[in-house]
Structure 1
Amino acid sequence: MENRKKVAFYTLGCKLNFSETSTIARNLEDEGFDRVDFEEVADMYVINTCSVTENADKQFKQVVRKAMKLNDKAFVAAVGCYAQLKPEELASVDGVDLVLGATEKFKLADYINDLSKNDFGEVHSCEIAEADFYVGSYSIGDRTRAFLKVQDGCDYKCTYCTIPLARGISRSDELENVLKNASEISKQNIKEIVLTGVNIGDYGKGEFGNKKHEHTFLELVQELDKVEGIERLRISSIEPNLLKNETIEFVSKSRTFVPHFHIPLQSGSNDILKLMKRRYQREVYTERVNKIREVMPHACIGVDVIVGFPGETDEHFLETYHFLNDMDISYLHVFTYSERDNTEAAAMEGVVPGNVRAKRSKMMRGLSVKKRRAFYESQLGTNRTVLFESENKEGYIHGFTENYVKVKTPWNPELVNTLHEINLTKIDEDGSVRMDFVTVLV
C-alpha cells in the first residue's frame, strides 16, 4: 500500500483562520494526505498567516524555524493574510517553498507536486480585487467547539486596518450552505458553533461585488436557531453599528444562541473614532450595551480597544478609559497600535511614542482584569450551563458557561465535551471560577 504523506498545520490569528485551516486540511486529506500535529515530523507544513499585528509577522519566522527543526527536508507552504499582503517577504524566509495569496489558498493541492524543496519560495498571489468569490469553511475536530465561517472580506475603510487589502470585498455564504455546514457540524457530536467572518454583521452580500443583501444577519441567526442537534451558537465579534436591537432581542429569547457579545469599540473618544474612520460614535456603543443589559442582565460583553493610535492625546486616552470604566462590560481585548504598510494611519501626524503606548496598554489590561473580576463576582451563586473542553491543565479541566465565565474542576476525562448545569461558587486564585455540579444535561 502506498505510503500516505503527512501534513501538519499551524494557524496564526483569528477564529476565521482556524475555520479556513480546517477546510484546507480536509481538502488535502481528500487528496491522500494524513493530518498530524505540528509537533510531529511531517512531509509538509502549512502555515496560515495573520497580519493584524506586528507580532504575528514575527511569529511566522519562528514557526518556519520550528518546522525546519522537526524536518529540514519538509515542504513549507504559507497561506493567509500576510501571504497576500507581503508574498515576496514570506517567500524570502529560509525554508519556505510556496506562498499562496487570497484566491489560491483553497487550491493548495493544485500547487504541490512531489514535495521536493524549492531553491527559493514560489509565489502565487493575486490582485486583491480578484478575491471576489466565496469559499465556505468550518473547523471541526480541533476543539470542543466549531468555528463556522459565514462571511469574508470587508468594505469598511478603517484607517489602521489591512484586512480589506488581505481579504478583499465583503461577501457572504449562501444561507442554504451555512445551514448545510451547521447541520454537518451537529452530526459530529460538537456541542457549540461559533459564527465567524471578517465583518459578520454585514452578512448577506453576494459574490462579485454584489452589494444587495440576499439575507440579513438577523435572518441568518433566526434560521440557524432552527438547526437540529446544535446545543449552542455563539456570535463572534460584530460591529456596534451592525448589531441591531432586533438581533439582541432575538438572542435573548433564542433556543441556542448564548448571551455573549463581543463588540469592537476601538476608542471611547469620538475624535479618535473619526480619525479611525469607524462608522459610529460612542453614543451608539452605549445604546447597544444598554439594550443588551435591558434584555439579558447576565450577558457577557467583550470589547476590542486600540491604544496609542496617532493623534491620541492623554486626554483622549483617559476619555476612553473612563468611558469603559463606567460601562457595564465584562472584559477587554487590548491592542497596542502598530503601523501597518499601505494604511492611512501610518502616515498620520501625532505619532504616540512606544513607551506611552505600552503604558496605556498596561492601564487598559489592568481595567480588563478588574472588569472580568466584577463580572465573575456578579455571577457567583447562580446556576449556569458549562461545556467542558478537552485539555488537562495541571490536574484541572476547564470549560465555559453560556455567558463565557471560565470554570474549573478536578480533571475527569469523562467530562470532555459534555454539558452540565452547575452552581458558580467562588473565584480561584487563577481567576477562574470553582463550581458545584447540579445536573448532567448532555
Structure 2
Amino acid sequence: MIDKKVAFYTLGCKLNFSETSTIARSFQEEGFQKVEFNEYADIYVINTCSVTENADKRFKTIVKQAQKTNEDAFIVGVGCYAQLKPEELAAVDGVDLVLGATEKFKITDYLNDLSKNDFGEVHSCEIQEADFYVGSYSIGDRTRAFLKVQDGCDYKCTYCTIPLARGISRSDKLENVLQNAAEISEQGIKEIVLTGVNIGDYGKGEFGNKKHEHTFLDLVKALDEVDGIERLRISSIEPNLLKNETIDFVSQSNTFVPHFHIPLQSGSNDILKLMRRRYLRELYVDRVAQIKKVMPNACIGVDVIVGFPGETDEHFLETYTFLTELDISYLHVFTYSERDNTPAAEMSGVVSTKVRKKRSKMLRGLSAKKRRAFYESQLGTTHIVLFEGENKEGYIHGFTENYVKVKAPWNPELVNTLHQIQLTEIDEDGLVRFEYVKEAVSA
C-alpha cells in the first residue's frame, strides 16, 4: 500500500472530527500519504453523521465529489450513518466499503487490493458489541484540538439515534486522556476542546460498566494540570450533569475558559417530558444563573429542537419567551426530522414542514440578537484572543476565551498566537474589532 494517497471528509460533530484524525493517523502509520479531499487520492474515507436528515443526503453528494476527482477511487463510508443504515450506504453508486461503530478504527485491516466492488461490502457489528473504547483526538487541521474523552450514551431521548449508532456510555481511562493531552501540547496547539457523546457522564468504566473510577470533575481537575496547554474548553454538556462544583472550578481555573454549551432542546416542560430529557426548564435556569454568578462574562450556547411532535404554537411560544428572557449568548437551532427506530417517529401531533421551518427561522433570528447583545456587553472589556489559521477575504479571525469572534487584517505571523486585547466595536459583519493591550502573550 506504500505511496497510496488517502483523503478524508467529516460530517457532523467535533467528536467525528477527533475520530477522523485518529483514523487518518492509522493510515499514515501504514505508509499512506494523506491529502486534501479535493485532491487526487486512491482512497476516500467519508465519516458520516445521522443526527439530521440533511447529513444523510450530503453523503451522496460527497461520494460524487470524490468520483469527479478520481473515478476509480476506493470509497469508504464510516461513522454513525454507516452503523445505522449500512446497506443504504453500500447501495450508493461508487461506495466500496462500509464500516460500523467498532470496525472504523480497524479500517486498514479491511483494505485488501482496493479493487472496485459492484456493491459496497459491509462490516457492521451489532451495536451491543460496541463496548470497548478507542481514544481519539484531532490535530494538524486547526489551531485547536478536539480531544475525545467519552463515547456512547445511556440516555433514551425519544428523538435520538446516537445510542443506536454508538452504543453504551463508556469513558477513556484518565491516564490515557492525560497522555493524549500531553501529545497535543507537544504539537504546539494552544487549545483543547473536550468532546464525546455525553461528556458529563465521564467516569463509566472503559467497557461501559457502571463502576465510576473517576468523575467528570476529576477529569477537569487533572487536565487543568497538563503543561503547555493554554486553554481548555468544555464542549456540549447536559444541564443535569453540569454540577456547581464543576462550574465553580472552571471559574477559578488556570486553563478552562468561561464558555459552556448546554443543550436545552425545549423551553416547555411538556415537550421536555415527551423528549424524555432528564431535567425540566427550572434546572436549566439554575445552571445559567450559577454560571453567570461566578463568571459574569461567560458565553453560554444552547441547543434547541423545533417542530418536535406535539409542539403546539403555545409550546413554541413558551420556548421562544423562555430563551428571550434567559441570559444566554447564542443558539444552535435544529429542525426536528424523523429518524427510523426512534419513539418520536411514531408520535402523534406531527408538525408540518412549513411550520418547522418558520419556527426555526424565528429562533435563528433570536440567536442573532442574543449574540449581538452578548458582543455589545463585552465592548470595552479586556480578553485574550487566539488567532485561527485561515485568510478570510484579507482578514484573520480569532476567538477570545469567552468565544467572542474578532477580526484583524490578515497577518500570517498571528496564526496560533495569543494576545491580550480590548474589544472596541462591532463591525457590519457582526465580528468585533479590537486594540492590542499586550501583544504576543504566547506565540
> Which TM-score bucket, shorter chain as reference?
over 0.9
Q: Which amino acid letter does the alignment assign opposite residue 16 of structure 1?
A: L
Matches within 5 A, 1:279-290: 279-290=278-289
- 2:164 maps to which residue? 165
- 1:407 maps to which residue? 406
> Following TM superposition, by how much is the alpha carbon of 1:436 offset from its aligned partner in structure 2, in angstroms?
1.1
Q: Which amino acid letter does the alignment assign opposite residue 274 of structure 2?
A: L
Matches within 5 A, 1:311-326: 311-326=310-325
- 2:388 maps to which residue? 389
- 2:188 maps to which residue? 189
- 1:230 maps to which residue? 229
Matches within 5 A, 1:52-71: 52-71=51-70
SS at match of 1:318: helix
Would you say the 8 A contact 2:2–2:31 is kept in 1?
no
In structure 1, how many angstroms separate the alpha carbons of the residues matched to 2:12 and 2:70? 24
Matches within 5 A, 1:104-123: 104-123=103-122
- 2:299 maps to which residue? 300
In structure 2, how many angstroms separate the alpha carbons of the residues matched to 1:207 and 1:189? 29
In structure 2, how many angstroms separate the alpha carbons of the residues matched to 1:284 and 1:201? 16
SS at match of 2:389: strand
SS at match of 1:392: coil
In structure 2, how many angstroms separate the alpha carbons of the residues matched to 1:79 and 1:123? 10
- 2:137 maps to which residue? 138
Would you say the 8 A contact 2:2–2:30 is kept in 1?
no
SS at match of 1:265: strand
Q: Which amino acid letter does the alignment assign opposite residue 49 of structure 2?
A: C
- 1:8 maps to which residue? 7
SS at match of 1:226: coil
> Following TM superposition, by how much is the alpha carbon of 1:115 offset from its aligned partner in structure 2, in angstroms?
1.3
- 2:373 maps to which residue? 374
Q: Which amino acid letter does the alignment assign opposite residue 395 of structure 2?
A: Y
Q: Which amino acid letter does the alignment assign opposite residue 395 of structure 1?
A: G
Pairing 1:441–2:434 present? no
> Following TM superposition, by how much is the alpha carbon of 1:377 offset from its aligned partner in structure 2, in angstroms?
0.1
Aligned length: 441
Q: Which amino acid letter does the alignment assign opposite residue 293 of structure 1?
A: K
In structure 2, how many angstroms separate the alpha carbons of the residues matched to 1:131 and 1:385? 41
> Following TM superposition, by how much is the alpha carbon of 1:209 offset from its aligned partner in structure 2, in angstroms?
3.1
Matches within 5 A, 1:190-229: 190-229=189-228
SS at match of 1:263: strand
> Following TM superposition, by how much is the alpha carbon of 1:408 offset from its aligned partner in structure 2, in angstroms?
0.1
In structure 2, how many angstroms separate the alpha carbons of the residues matched to 1:408 and 1:114? 48
Q: Which amino acid letter does the alignment assign opposite residue 46 of structure 2?
A: I
Q: Which amino acid letter does the alignment assign opposite residue 61 of structure 1?
A: K
In structure 1, how many angstroms separate the alpha carbons of the residues matched to 2:77 and 2:37? 14
Matches within 5 A, 1:246-395: 246-395=245-394
RMSD: 0.7
In structure 1, how many angstroms separate the alpha carbons of the residues matched to 2:208 and 2:145? 28
In structure 1, how many angstroms separate the alpha carbons of the residues matched to 2:381 and 2:155? 40
- 1:89 maps to which residue? 88
Would you say the 8 A contact 2:171–2:208 is kept in 1?
no
In structure 2, how many angstroms separate the alpha carbons of the residues matched to 1:207 and 1:140? 24
- 1:175 maps to which residue? 174
1:295-327 residue CA offsets vs partner (Å, 9 max, x unmatched): 000000000000000000000000000000001
> Following TM superposition, by how much is the alpha carbon of 1:437 offset from its aligned partner in structure 2, in angstroms?
1.3
Q: Which runs of 5+ in 1 are unaligned?
A: none
- 1:17 maps to which residue? 16
1:130-159 residue CA offsets vs partner (Å, 9 max, x unmatched): 000000000000110000000000000000
Q: Which runs of 5+ in 2 are unaligned?
A: none
TM-score (norm 2): 0.99
Runs of 4+ more than 4 Å apart: none
> Following TM superposition, by how much is the alpha carbon of 1:74 offset from its aligned partner in structure 2, in angstroms?
0.5
In structure 1, how many angstroms separate the alpha carbons of the residues matched to 2:412 and 2:36? 21
Q: Which amino acid letter does the alignment assign opposite residue 341 of structure 1?
A: D
1:1-21 residue CA offsets vs partner (Å, 9 max, x unmatched): x95100000000000000000
Q: Which amino acid letter does the alignment assign opposite residue 397 of structure 1?
A: I
> Following TM superposition, by how much is the alpha carbon of 1:119 offset from its aligned partner in structure 2, in angstroms?
1.4
1:228-271 residue CA offsets vs partner (Å, 9 max, x unmatched): 00000000000000000000000000000000000000000000
In structure 1, how many angstroms separate the alpha carbons of the residues matched to 2:67 and 2:74? 9
In structure 2, how many angstroms separate the alpha carbons of the residues matched to 1:52 and 1:94? 23
> Following TM superposition, by how much is the alpha carbon of 1:207 offset from its aligned partner in structure 2, in angstroms?
3.0
In structure 1, how many angstroms separate the alpha carbons of the residues matched to 2:349 and 2:117? 45
- 1:424 maps to which residue? 423
SS at match of 2:131: coil
> Following TM superposition, by how much is the alpha carbon of 1:208 offset from its aligned partner in structure 2, in angstroms?
3.1
Q: Which amino acid letter does the alignment assign opposite residue 116 of structure 2?
A: K
In structure 2, how many angstroms separate the alpha carbons of the residues matched to 1:28 and 1:383? 43
Q: Which amino acid letter does the alignment assign opposite residue 43 of structure 1?
A: D
Q: Which amino acid letter does the alignment assign opposite residue 375 of structure 2?
A: Y
In structure 1, how many angstroms separate the alpha carbons of the residues matched to 2:257 and 2:390? 23
In structure 2, how many angstroms separate the alpha carbons of the residues matched to 1:425 and 1:159? 45
In structure 1, how many angstroms separate the alpha carbons of the residues matched to 2:283 and 2:145? 31
TM-score (norm 1): 0.99
> Following TM superposition, by how much is the alpha carbon of 1:191 offset from its aligned partner in structure 2, in angstroms?
0.1
1:22-74 residue CA offsets vs partner (Å, 9 max, x unmatched): 00000010011010000100000000000000000001000000000000000
> Following TM superposition, by how much is the alpha carbon of 1:213 offset from its aligned partner in structure 2, in angstroms?
1.1
Would you say the 8 A contact 2:398–2:405 is kept in 1?
yes
- 1:27 maps to which residue? 26
Q: Which amino acid letter does the alignment assign opposite residue 325 of structure 1?
A: T
Q: Which amino acid letter does the alignment assign opposite residue 256 of structure 1?
A: T
1:157-206 residue CA offsets vs partner (Å, 9 max, x unmatched): 00000000000000000000000000000000000000000000000001
